[in-house]
Amino acid sequence: MNHHSITQLLEGVRAGRVSVEEGRERLATLPWLDLGHSRVDTHRELRCGAAEVVFGIGKTPGELVDVARAIVARHGRCLVTRATPEGAAALAGELEGAVVHERARAVTFGLPPEGTGEGEVLVVSAGTSDGAVAEEAVLTARMLGARVESLADVGVAGIHRLLAHSDELRRARVVVCVAGMEGALPSVVGGLVERPVIAVPTSIGYGAHFGGLAALLAMLNSCAAGITVVNVDNGFGGGYAAALINRLPQDPRPATPEA
């Protein structure tokens, strides 16, 4: 229940369209709903601007269905990240409208159509192998109301592929860079744009990559300004941060300075 829906509820009670008892019942789930095994934070959208996102790992299929059903009932949408195959199958079988995104290991309810939303978040990934993490970032930003575009397989080993999209890079309000191996892509992008860059290291690489640690440290030590780094494989964190930045008032300056 967000600011708008609470206002509608209170106005309905005042106008007599909603009884006091019904209004009290609908507000009784604030600030959480106790399901026995989980406490759903029904107040989070009011505090933070987005409904609770469900982390799928460690939950039984039944627990996952209960939590997702409660969130969908109150917000009309829900994002489940890192869903196990069993959890994703349970959600798809029990909740109408569930969409399973196998590569991203995510399940969505009420995902806005592609190309809709506000502003523009651009998710740039270095290689096809980074696609799962990049897709998690895309889904997260879309669920938070951002219009999202993607550039895939534009890593620094063939940097001309990235430079061919300079206009898209400069037009975006915020850029999410997803890269493994040595993690150089965010530094390059950070040197090309005047927008915030969210760097997401992935665990893709050879032995000395150390499961993403090499990319993480490279991004943390970037000489390009304006780069913020999230945890290894945390496409959710990158997409969420980008969507929040995307909501901020538009910079009145043009994205590309005039000659």
**Other beta carbons within 10 Å of 70:** 19
Tell me how far apart the alpha carbons of residues 117 and 9 are, in angstroms, rounded to a whole number. 26
Q: What pLDDT is stored for residue 256 in this prediction?
A: 55
175, containing H or E segment: strand 174-179
Partners of residue 54 on adjacent β-strands: 80
What residues contact 54, with CB distance under 8 A and at least 6 apart?
64, 67, 68, 71, 78, 79, 80, 81
- pLDDT of res. 259: 46
Helix (H) or strand (E) holding 81: strand 78-81
Task: Convert the pLDDT of each residue in 24-63 to its tens digit.
Answer: 777 766 677 778 888 888 778 777 788 889 999 999 999 9
Q: Return the pLDDT at 239.
A: 97
Q: Which tokens in the block code for residue 186?
A: 């965010």
C-alpha torsion angle, residues 10, 15, 18, 23 (rounded to 10): 30
Look at the alpha carbons of 205, 237, 142, 77 in this order and tell me if their dihedral is positive or negative.
positive
Q: Which residue is it, tokens 């490279």?
A: 218
Q: How many CB atoms lie within 10 A of CB 30?
A: 14
The predicted pLDDT at position 34 comes to 78
Question: Residue 100 has what pLDDT?
Answer: 96
Q: Which domains are present in the chain?
A: 31-109 (no CATH), 118-246 (3.40.50.1970)
Q: How high is the pLDDT of residue 66?
A: 93
- Dihedral angle computed from the Cα positions of residues 144, 149, 153 and 159, in that order, rounded to the nearest 10 degrees: -120
Q: Give the model's pLDDT for residue 31.
A: 77
Q: Which regions of the chain are under pLDDT 70?
A: 1-5, 28-30, 251-259
The phi, psi pair for 5, rounded to 5°, reads -70, -35
Query: Can you tell me the distance from the alpha carbon of 51 to that of 87, in angstroms, rounded to the nearest whole number?
Result: 20
pTM of the model: 0.84
Alpha helices in the chain (DSSP H): 3-15, 20-27, 44-48, 61-75, 85-94, 131-143, 160-163, 166-171, 185-190, 213-220, 235-246
Q: Exposed, middle or buried, 116 (CB in 10 Å: 0-12/13-18/19+)?
A: exposed
